[in-house]
A and B are shown apart, each in its own frame.
Chain A
Amino acid sequence: MLYRILTLLRKEFIQLFRDKLLAPFVLLGPLSELLMIAWSTSQGIDHLPTAVLDLDLSPASRALVTAMENSETFDPYTVASLDDVTADIAGGRAMAAWVIPPGFQAQLLDADEAAPVQLVVDGSDVMAAQTAVDVGEGVAAAYGQSIMMQTVGTSGGVPLEMSLRVWFNEELKESNFMIPSELGFIAAAIAAMLASMMIARERELGTLEQLMVTPIRSLELVIGKSALAFALGYTEFLLMLGMVVWFFDVPLRGSLALLMLIAFIYMLVELGWGLMISAVAKTQMQALLIAFAVVMVMIIFSGYAFPVETMPPLMRLIANIFPLKHWLIIFRSILLKGAGLEVFWPQLLAILGLGTLIYTGTITLLRQKKLE
C-alpha cells in the first residue's frame, strides 16, 4: 500500500515540476497577495501629521507629546494658536490635532479632577480618524494618568465611540489583525482547492478510470493525490508565517511548535473539504468553482471579513460549524496573546470534532461514488 502511494507521489512530483505554471503560482501567488495586504494595512495608518497646541508648556504636557510620538501613529509638530489648528486640519496639512489646555499639569496633580485634553481629528478620512481616536485613547491610557479626553470630529461629524480596552495590540495595528486572518485562511484554502482539483483532473483526463483497473485502491489514490496538495499548502503556510513575522513585525508571542502542530491538524481538516468536493466534481473547473463557493461562505462566517459578534444570533450559531472561525481564534491567540492550550482547548476540540464529521462525510461520499 505504502509503495503504491509513494509511486503516485513520485508521479505527482514529476507532473508538478513539469507544469511550469502550477508550482510558482501556488507558492508565490498567495505569498504576494499576502505581501500586498500586509503592506497596505501596515503602512496605511501611522505617522499621521499631528498639530499640537500646547498651552500649558509644562513637563506633564511635554511628556504627553512624547507619548504620542512613541506611538508612531502621530507625528506631532507644534502650532501657536487655535486658528492654526483649524487651518491645518481644514487644509489637510494635519490629520489630527491635540490641544493641551493651560493648567493641564495642575489639574493632573489634583486627584479629584480629570485633566481634559482635546483631540481633534479629520473625520473625512474615516479609517485614519478611527485609528487616531483609538490610538489617542491608547496613548492616554498608556500615559497612565486620568486624562479626560474630549473628541471633536470635524468636517465629517463621525460619531466616535470611546473604548479604552486595547489589549494585545496596543497600537491597534490593523495589520496585526488582518495578516493572521489572511494567512490562516489562504493556506487552508490552497490545500483544499489543490486537492480537489488534482483528483478532478485525473477524472477529467480519464486517467482515473485507468488507475481503477490497477491494484491502486481508492483510499491509496486519495492519500497519494492529496499528500502533495497538503505539503504545498503547509509549505505555503510556513513561508507566509516567516514572512509576516520577520518582515511585518507581527508578533509571535506563543509557542511556534504548538502553532505548527495545530496548523497541521487544522489544514488536514480543511483538506477534507477539498476531498469532499473532489468526490462530487467531474472537471477541474467544477472543482474550482465549488471550492470557491465554499471558501466565500467560509470567509463570511469566519470573522475574517466581518466580526462574528455583530451577526444575528442564528448566523453566530452557524459560524461555529466552520473550522476556519475556531482556527483564527487559536491562531491570533498564539500570535498576539502568547496563549497556550489552556486558553483555546475548546476551539481545538471544535476543530477536531468538525474534522471527524467532515472526514466521515468525505469517506462515505467516496465509497458511494466509487471514484467513478
Chain B
Amino acid sequence: MADEWVIETEGLTRTFKKVTAVNNLTLQIKRGEIFGLVGPDGAGKTTTIRLLAAILDPTGGSAKVDGFDTVAQPEPIKRRIGYMAQRFNLYGDLSVWENLNFFADVFEMTGTERQERIEMLLNFARLTEFRDRHAAHLSGGMQKKLALACTLIHTPDIIYLDEPTTGVDPVSRREFWDILTDLHLQGITLVVSTPYMDEAERCSRVGLMYQGGLVVCDTPEAIKAMTEGELIALWPSDLRRAHDILLGTEGVLEVQTYGDQLRLFARDGDDIMARLQATLTEHNIQLADARRTSPRMEEAFISLIRRQMNEKP
C-alpha cells in the first residue's frame, strides 16, 4: 500500500525569521487524486506547496514526493512535477508560443514529440488562436491557462496549483476546473490550494490548514459530517441583534452570518425551532423564514476553524 501515497510529509516545518508558516505538518496524498488545500490567508498553504515543490527547504521534518526527498533529491522531483504559482509567473514580453517553447527547451524536449505537445497544449488550454499574442496582453483567465499549459509541458505526474483561480471571472473559473477535471481523469495527481469552498467540494480529499497545521484531512462529505449539531437557516428582521441574542440562547452552538440570513448550529431537538422563534419574538424581532438545512463546505470550514481557535487561544 506504500505506493498509494505519492506525497508524504513527516513533521514538516518551515520557519521564516519569526513566523512559523508551516508547523509540524504530517500529510499524505494519494496517487491520482485531486487534493485540496484550504484555509484562511496566512494558514501556510503557499509555503506548503513550495516545500512540496522542492523550491523551499524545510527547517524541520521531511517531505517525499514520488519517493524522492525534497531536500536531498530535488532534481528528479522537478522532472515529475509541475508548479503553477499564485502570481502570473511567465514572461509578459514573450508570446504565448515563445513561452511554451522556452519551457519545452528548458526541459530539453526535441523533435516531433515537442511540436505535438505544444500544439496539443495550445488546443487543450484553448489558446491556439492567441499563440502570437504577448503573454502580458492576455486576459487574467487566459494567463492562468497559459501558465497551466507551461507547467504541463513536460507531462508531469503531479501538479501543484497555488490558488489557480483567484482573480478569475466565474466563467473562466468553471472552464479552468473543467480542464483540471480532464487532467484528473488522465490520472495526474493534482494538489490545489484554494480559498473557494465550491472548489474545495470538487476535490477528492481536502486538507484544512490553520496556523501552519492540518486541522482536518478527509473527503468533503466526511468533513461536512464533522459539524456538531444541526444547521438551521434563519431570516430575521434585525440581523445584528438577532445574532447576539441567539448566541446566548441555550442549545445554540454557533452562529454565522450570510448576507441577510443567519446560519446556526444547534443541538438536536424537535423543540429548537419553536424555541428560537419564541426567543426572537420576545425581543420584537420578526422571522421571515426558518428552515433546517444541510451544511455546505463553507459552514463546516468556519465551524472547524472556530473550534480550533477556541482550543488554541
Contact = CB atoms under 8 A, between A and B. Distances in A.
A210 B93 contact: no
Interface in A1-39: 3-4, 7, 10-11, 14-15, 18-19
A15 B93 contact: yes
Contacts of A215: 75, 78-79, 106-108
B151 to A, nearest CB: 8
A93 interface: no
Contacts of A372: 55-56
A206 interface: yes
B134 to A, nearest CB: 8
B34 interface: no
B224 to A, nearest CB: 34
Interface string B16-53: 00000000000000000000000000000000000001
A215 B156 CA distance: 13
Interface stretch (B83-91, B226-234, B268-276, B284-292): B83-91
Given A4-B106, A214-B106, A370-B57, A207 B79 contact: no
Contacts of A10: 105
Contact of B89 (A18, A207, A216, A370): A207
Contacts of B87: 206
Contacts of B81: 213
Contacts of A213: 53-55, 78, 81-83, 151
A214 B107 contact: yes
A205 interface: yes
Contacts of B91: 11, 15, 205, 207
A209 B54 CA distance: 11
Interface in B71-103: 75, 78-79, 81-83, 85, 87-94, 98, 102-103
Chain A, interface size: which category? 20 to 34
Contacts of B53: 213
Interface residues of B, number: 29
A140 to B, nearest CB: 63
Nearest to B76: A215
A8 to B, nearest CB: 8
A7 B91 CA distance: 14
A312 B129 CA distance: 68
A212 interface: yes
A117 to B, nearest CB: 68
A205 B106 contact: no
A14 B97 CA distance: 13
Residue with the highest number of chain A CB atoms closer than 10 Å, among B82, B88, B105 = B105
A207 B103 contact: no
A209 B89 contact: yes
B108 A206 contact: no
A3 B83 contact: no
A216 B106 contact: yes
Interface in A232-250: none
Interface in A197-221: 205-207, 209-216
A214 B151 CA distance: 9
30 contacts: A3-B105, A3-B108, A4-B105, A4-B108, A7-B102, A7-B106, A10-B105, A11-B94, A11-B102, A14-B94, A14-B98, A15-B91, A15-B94, A18-B94, A206-B87, A206-B89, A207-B89, A210-B83, A210-B89, A210-B150, A213-B53, A213-B54, A213-B78, A213-B81, A213-B82, A213-B83, A214-B103, A214-B107, A215-B79, A372-B55
Given A209-B55, A212-B55, A213-B54, 8 more contacts: A11-B98, A15-B93, A15-B94, A205-B89, A207-B90, A210-B150, A213-B55, A215-B107
